[in-house]
Amino acid sequence: MATRTDAPTRREQILKEAARLFAERGFHGVGVDEIGAAVGISGPGLYRHFAGKDAMLAELLVGISGQLLTGAKRRLAEVEADGGAKAEAVLDSLIEGHIDFALDDRPLITLHDRELDRLRDSDRKMVRQLQRQYVELWVGVVREVYPGLGEPAARSAVHSVFGLLNSTPHLGRGGSLPGRGATAELLHRMARGAFAAAGV
């Protein structure tokens, strides 16, 4: 998630370009030399940073799952520290954080959908474990906002909202987007509307 303001490291530049290229052309459609060229270093020079493409893919997918969970926990702590805010404010903050990811890291969404099965079993299990923790954090907050919503229904609602927010790689195809701010507001309204419909 894009919250840093300092310049990205060389390793981060490599990961960003690898994600973009993998999303555009598929994992097997991209060579190490092409990734190197995208960041201005030789293909073999990448091996000073990563053991290979498999390592890049693992760091991208495990990394973003961990960042989402860490970011959600941080947002939860920040909102709760602000005078014990209501669950509604916590949910809004979680939605905002996921929208930031969905708008700023679209290639990672495509990469997850297409290439997760290429990870080693241990890395794939780590991704799934981090994702489960992320979902359960959301489920707890959603059930505070909508106390009449049972746990299975809350979990289904959370997954449905993730599907809605993670549709961003498909936005703008064949047309233009209204702009980041307007798109973020629209996604937020739709997410809250979906939760409200589930909680009725």
The more confident residue out of 81 and 18 is: 18
Q: What percent of the chain has pLDDT over 90?
A: 78
Rounded Cα gap, residues 147 and 141, in angstroms: 10
Check: CB of residue 98 under 8 Å from CB of residue 33: no
pLDDT tens digits for range 132-145? 999 999 999 999 99
- Is residue 42 very low, low, confident or very high in pLDDT (cuts 50, 70, 90)? confident
- The mean per-residue pLDDT over the stretch 99-113 comes to 95
> 3-class DSSP state for residue 186?
helix
pLDDT score of 174 = 55
- The mean per-residue pLDDT over the stretch 15-35 comes to 94
- The mean per-residue pLDDT over the stretch 159-166 comes to 97
Domain boundaries, the chain: 57-199
Whether the pLDDT of residue 43 is over 90: the answer is no
Whether the pLDDT of residue 105 is over 90: the answer is yes
Check: CB of residue 138 under 8 Å from CB of residue 72: yes
Q: Taking each helix axis from N to C terminus, what angle separates 121-145 and 87-104, rounded to the nearest 10 degrees?
A: 140
pLDDT tens digits for range 50-102? 999 999 999 999 999 999 999 999 998 887 776 656 889 999 999 999 999 99
pLDDT tens digits for range 120-133? 999 999 999 999 99
CATH H-level, domain 57-199: superfamily? Tetracycline Repressor, domain 2 (1.10.357.10)
Q: What angle do CA 87, 160, 188 make, to 5 degrees?
A: 55
